[in-house]
Amino acid sequence: MGKRVRETERKYEADDRFEQPDLDGLPKVYGSRDLDPAELDAVYFDTEDLRLAARSITLRRRTGGDDAGWHLKLPTTEADTRTEVHAPLGRATRTVPADLAAEVAVHTRGERLLPVVRLKNHRERKHLLDAAGEPLAEIAHDHVTAQFLAAGPQGKAEAVTWTEFEVELVGGGPALLDAVEQRLAAAGLRRSDSPSKLARALGDRLVAAPVPPEPPAEIRTVGDAALAYLHEQLRAVIALDPEVRRAEPDSVHRMRVAARRARSALKTFRKELDRTATDPVGAELKWLGEVLGTARDGEVVADRLETRFAELDPAMVDEGLRRRLAAQHSTAPGQAHDAVVKIMGRSHYFRVLEAVEALLADPPYLDGAKLPAAEGLERAVRHDHRRLRRAVEAALAAGSGRDRDTALHEARKAAKRARYCAEAARPVLGAPAKKQITRMKDLQELLGEHQDSVMCRVVITRLAEDAVAAGESAFPYGALAQLELFRAREIEDRLPQAWKKADRPL
């Protein structure tokens, strides 16, 4: 993927009182250095309906200046700060680099990226310097001409012009931005209403661009709480999408958890949200969780096999076992990840996101959604805890072997649902919900360890069958399976006491 940097800057527009700002004597600024003017020519890319611009994302190919190339700018939660991803200029002028297209695929969702605006900018600039002569900030006076490319780069459209000042931190901190802003305000400049030059160039065209639904401004009812939690999970999935495509550590797992949380919430809040609307969305989220689970489960099993292998008596280890475990660890997770990324490029994946967004844009509230948030959330947390109690008691009563493994897996799923319900309740119920989250997390992790053992034994059995078919001994695989079985029995022995600690509903 392209080089990633943080960009912190503010933009200013001039009013009728504008005078060239005096920047002498700023705190911790010991001088300035004029830089050569730059002639910048940038073509901005977006979908036909401007999905990126509507989300404050800009993607451009710019020539001129000292950073010519492709630039993708992504919003962050930090004030005045964006993440900028760079890619080389290359020869192609109308085809977005694949790495950058992947970064925004969760927003474009299969729609083509087209040239939408061309910006030409005559930039006059200077650096503010520290005592050692190093740059603290760059001050740019931009003279911009923008043309909307309704029909591509050769299309005819009305051009607009304006001037603005841009202050970008180089080595300084936010206090310097504030000090510069005071000087600019005294000279008749004001903070720009547009988050970017692109947004200013597009103007009213952005009004019709599709934007994601907004979460409730405040949580008054249990319906508000359910919706806020679902919004949080959708934002997580969208934020993690490019990380999964880049194969960032743990990204697949975190996206899978967000999808599961959303699906679990649809089940928990069945008295608040109409199931005829939520069940189809839940089915789509289940599909997404299963797709992501393929890669995640491969990672877990490969790591677990490596741990068990290290516990084996070296005398049991033969070359065949060593080779098969190495292959499992090196290829299975990678192949599974490639399959996930391939699926994430298909329309079904994008339909899942759109289904969740449609539900959030028009929530299918039932009368139960009108309950005051605290009352409704307490009821939901207690309901899911009772459901968990039944599942754990069934698991403790189950016989050993496959029946107990299945029952413990069901208890694990119930513990996750109880935990996610408490998470949804935490903004309203506070400390009691936080304690419930901790209890459920501890229980879930214990039961999850048991399920990982079950999955690992399934893979060991398959590897043993492959070894026998190749004329190799199955004995070391039996030893591996026995180690996993010992671990599972240990967890089962700990479960009664763990459940005693966890069985404390609100």
Contacts of 197 (CB under 8 A, 6+ apart): 11, 119, 121, 142, 144, 146, 164
Provide φ and ψ at 505, rounded to 5°: -65, 170
| 81-87 vs 114-129, strand pairing mode | unpaired
Distance, in Å, from the CA atom of 444 to the CA atom of 440, rounded to the nearest integer, reads 6
The answer to whether the Cα torsion of 309, 314, 318, 323 is positive or negative is positive
User: For the chain, which domains are there?
Assistant: 3-208 (2.40.320.10), 222-502 (1.40.20.10)
Tokens of 263: 């699906």
Contacts of 340 (CB under 8 A, 6+ apart): 244, 252, 291, 292, 294, 295
Provide φ and ψ at 181, rounded to 5°: -60, -40
Contacts of 302 (CB under 8 A, 6+ apart): 328, 329, 332, 333
Place of tokens 């069985």: 503
Distance, in Å, from the CA atom of 498 to the CA atom of 434, rounded to the nearest integer, reads 18
Neighbours of 414 (CB within 10 A): 25
Question: First and final CA of the chain: distance in angstroms?
Answer: 47
- pLDDT of 315: 81
* Amino acid type, 323: R
Tokens of 500: 């005693």
- pLDDT of 157: 64
Burial of 435 (0-12, 13-18, 19+ CB in 10 A): middle
Place of tokens 């139960």: 368
- pLDDT of 152: 42
The model's pTM? 0.89
Burial 35-60 (b: 16+ CB within 10 A, else e): beebebebbbbbbeebbbbbbebbbb
Tokens of 462: 């398959």
From residue 158, give the alpha-carbon distance in Å to each of 33, 98, 185, 231, 300: 37, 31, 31, 39, 57
Distance, in Å, from the CA atom of 73 to the CA atom of 135, rounded to the nearest integer, reads 22
Distance, in Å, from the CA atom of 33 to the CA atom of 125, rounded to the nearest integer, reads 9
| 31-46 vs 159-169, strand pairing mode | unpaired
E-only strand ranges, 91-173: 114-129, 135-148, 159-169
Tell me which residue of 196, 205, 197 sits closest to 144, measured CA to CA.
197
Tokens of 258: 């967000």
CB of 451 closer than 8 Å to CB of 399: no
Distance, in Å, from the CA atom of 164 to the CA atom of 443, rounded to the nearest integer, reads 57
Give CA torsion, residues 406, 412, 417, 420, to 10 deg: -160
- pLDDT of 196: 93
Query: Cα–Cα–Cα angle for 482, 487, 488, nearest 5°?
Result: 95
Distance, in Å, from the CA atom of 199 to the CA atom of 406, rounded to the nearest integer, reads 55
From residue 417, give the alpha-carbon distance in Å to each of 122, 141, 230, 422, 424: 57, 55, 14, 9, 11
* Amino acid type, 134: E
CB of 451 closer than 8 Å to CB of 409: yes
Neighbours of 345 (CB within 10 A): 12
Distance, in Å, from the CA atom of 339 to the CA atom of 463, rounded to the nearest integer, reads 22
- What Rg do the C-alpha atoms of the chain give, in angstroms? 28
From residue 426, give the alpha-carbon distance in Å to each of 296, 388, 445: 28, 19, 20
CB of 42 closer than 8 Å to CB of 60: yes
From residue 496, give the alpha-carbon distance in Å to each of 10, 261, 502: 58, 26, 10
Mean pLDDT of each 10-residue bin along the chain, 506 residues long: 87 80 91 96 96 96 95 94 95 94 96 96 96 96 91 61 95 95 92 92 89 94 98 97 93 95 98 97 96 81 84 83 76 74 94 97 97 97 97 94 94 98 98 97 96 92 90 89 93 96 90
Distance, in Å, from the CA atom of 486 to the CA atom of 42, rounded to the nearest integer, reads 63
- pLDDT of 61: 98
Distance, in Å, from the CA atom of 365 to the CA atom of 273, rounded to the nearest integer, reads 5
